[in-house]
Amino acid sequence: MLELKNVKKSFGGVHAVDDVSFTVKEGEVVGLIGPNGAGKSTLINLITGVFPCDKGSITFLGKDITGKPPHMICKAGLSRTYQIPQPFYNMTCLLSTMVSVLNGKERENMSLSDAALEASYYLEFVGLFSKRDSLARDLNLYDMRMLELARALATTPKLLLIDETMAGLNPVESQNALDMIRSAQDQFGITILWIEHVMKIIMSAAQRIVVLHYGRKIAEGLPSEIFNDDFVVKAYLGDKHVKSK
């Protein structure tokens, strides 16, 4: 579904993403992990067209999307959430979600009223229907993250990029968010590429994990393999925690 080939991105002398290649197959949940500054969010920005790639190519559903503007990538079926929630603070939840409904994948016979109805469906799905008329700035962190998820789902994506959605959530909220993402995958049949720092969550949710360190891919495999990989343990915790040493 998604294929990255030798993707590179530098900011000045810093190689934020350096020769990264991997694929995401349809229906998978792929985890993307790595210490702070590993280049995970930059990679998401490259995939979604926020930054242009210096080198390499990104293919989505067989089409080259390298260098395409974000709105075209969104219409192609690729949506994202943000590490730091970026709601439209002065807009209501319903109106925010309507923006996605109206501009995501082309829908036939979609008037403004129909868009409001469809947006309500996504808000109901994430549990925000009762707050549809609340301004986004009046929501708590969990609700903001759910609004982001509703907005992303409302574009009807085939591939959803989730950027550290558990950051700042307490264990109960994290579990709820995990359940929500799992049910979204079941209900809408979406594929997920998920950046996460909370290892317990990503190890249980992902079928495959890709590890980045200083912009380079250092490992890829099943969660159990990654958990015991010496390179990964070293990258996260340092030399003294490597078991095989």
Partner 1 sequence: MVKINTEFRRDRIVLRLDTKKYEWVIEPRYWRNPILGVLVLMVLPLFVYQYPNLLTMITTANLYAAIAIPLGLQIMGTGRMNFGPQFYLGIGGYTAALLNLHFGWGPGATLVATIAVCLAVSLLLSPITWISKGLYFSLITLILPLAFLDVTYVYGDIFRGEVGLSGMSPLFTLGKVSWNYLAYFYCSLLLLLIFLFVSDKIGRSRFGVNLAAINENEDVARMMGVNVNRYKIFYYVLPSVLTGIVAWFIVHTFRTFAGVTYLPLEFMIKILLISVVGGRGFVYGAIPGAYLIVGLDEALRGLGTINYFIYPLVLAILIIILAPKEGVYGLFHRHHYRDYYASMKVRRE
- Site residues for partner 1 per CB under 8 A: 48, 50, 69-71, 74-75, 79-80, 82, 86, 88-92, 94-96, 98-100, 102-106, 108-116, 132-133, 135, 151, 155
Quick check: 141 and 172 in contact, CB under 8 A? no
Query: At its nearest, how many Å lie between partner 1 and the CB of residue 194?
Result: 17
- Furthest C-alpha separation in the chain: 63
Q: Residue 127 and residue 134: Cα distance in Å, rounded?
A: 13
- Closest CB to partner 1 among 4 and 136? 136
Quick check: 169 and 181 in contact, CB under 8 A? no
Q: Which residues pair with 186 in a beta bridge?
A: none
Element (H, E) at 226: helix 223-227
Element (H, E) at 217: strand 216-221
Query: At its nearest, how many Å lie between partner 1 and the CB of residue 53?
Result: 17
- Closest CB to partner 1 among 123 and 235? 123
- Closest CB to partner 1 among 73 and 178? 73
38's tokens = 């590993």
Query: At its nearest, how many Å lie between partner 1 and the CB of residue 158?
Result: 14
Query: At its nearest, how many Å lie between partner 1 and the CB of residue 48?
Result: 6
Quick check: 153 and 74 in contact, CB under 8 A? no
- Closest CB to partner 1 among 47 and 235? 47
Query: At its nearest, how many Å lie between partner 1 and the CB of residue 83?
Result: 13
- Closest CB to partner 1 among 103 and 176? 103
3-state secondary structure of 187: helix
Alpha-carbon distance values, 141 to 123, 145, 183, 207 (Å): 16, 6, 20, 27
Query: At its nearest, how many Å lie between partner 1 and the CB of residue 102?
Result: 5
- Closest CB to partner 1 among 132 and 213? 132
Q: Residue 191 and residue 189: Cα distance in Å, rounded?
A: 7
DSSP character for 135? B
